[in-house]
Amino acid sequence: MGDFNAILSGDDIKLGRPVQEVEIKDFNDFMMDAGMTEMKAAGRDFTWSNGNTCSKIDRAVVNAEWMLNMSQLEVNVMQPGTNDHTPLSLELDKSAGIRHRAFKFFNCIADHPELITRVEKVWYGGQKRNVNELWHMLKKVKISLKQINDREFKGVRKKVENIRSQLKTIQENMRDPATVALYRQQEEELQVNLEK
């Protein structure tokens, strides 16, 4: 799963020049030779845009063994947010129990005067002999940063979610190539606000 920077057919690109056979031959040959097939995708049709051209260059590919052994046979093409590429999401286990709310690292925390001190205190406060201990150290850093977030940036999450919701709506409206130009400026303004 990732950015292959190549398309499989002319249907994988819009708002650009016509696709030549030579442009898709190598990737198609690779897929055939490696015994790979593209996973079914749900969501957006295109995974990359430079503002003028939309194309599907990010995808999830699997082999026959995967198809036989894994129940998940669909990848979710999400909204791009502030990126030119859309994230791909593959949920492997829907039977997972309780999920805790994930810690979100907001850019405003990076500028906080206590950041370096807190990270160093946790990081240099213990020995890292193996991967498990390293994982626990990262968890402690997360807890310390979450305290800053809860104390000083309460409400940022809601503002970010609101902007992301607006951005998602705009980008869903842009799925129709005829409306891309109409919504482009609104999308750019929301992306700038999201990066603040």
Q: Summarize pLDDT for 24-65 with one digit per residue, the tens.
A: 899 999 988 988 888 888 888 888 888 788 888 889 888 877
Q: Is the pLDDT of residue 81 over 60?
A: yes
Of 64, 59, 29, 65, the C-alpha closest to 46 is: 59
Q: Is the pLDDT of residue 95 over 60?
A: no
Averaged pLDDT for residues 57-84: 80
Residue 63 near residue 149, CB atoms below 8 Å = no
pLDDT at position 91: 73
**Secondary structure letter of residue 13 according to DSSP:** E
List the structure tokens of 89: 């999401």
pLDDT at position 26: 92
Count CB neighbours of 190 within 10 A. Answer: 22
Contacts 24+ apart (CB under 8 A), 85-93: 85/3, 85/47, 85/48, 85/58, 86/43, 86/44, 86/46, 86/47, 86/48, 86/58, 88/1, 88/2, 88/41, 88/47, 88/58, 88/59, 88/60, 90/1, 90/39, 90/60
Q: Is the pLDDT of residue 94 over 60?
A: no
Band of residue 97 on the pLDDT scale cut at 50, 70, 90: very low
Residues whose CB is less than 8 angstroms from the CB of residue 1 and which lie 6 or more positions away in sequence, other chains included: 59, 60, 61, 75, 88, 90
User: Whole-number mean pLDDT of the chain?
Assistant: 80
pLDDT at position 130: 64
What whole-number distance in Å separates Cα of residue 189 and Cα of residue 10? Answer: 31
Averaged pLDDT for residues 174-195: 83
Q: Is 102 or 58 the better-scoring residue by pLDDT? A: 58
Q: Summarize pLDDT for 138-183 with one digit per residue, the tens.
A: 888 888 888 887 787 777 778 888 888 898 888 888 888 778 888 8
pLDDT at position 72: 65
Of 73, 43, 48, the C-alpha closest to 58 is: 48
What whole-number distance in Å separates Cα of residue 51 and Cα of residue 17? Answer: 14
Q: Is 97 or 58 the better-scoring residue by pLDDT? A: 58
List the structure tokens of 82: 């502030």
What whole-number distance in Å separates Cα of residue 76 and Cα of residue 111? Answer: 33
Cα 106 from chain centre: 16
Q: Containing H/E element for 63?
A: strand 61-63
pTM of the model: 0.48
Q: Summarize pLDDT for 110-133 with one digit per residue, the tens.
A: 888 888 888 888 878 766 666 667
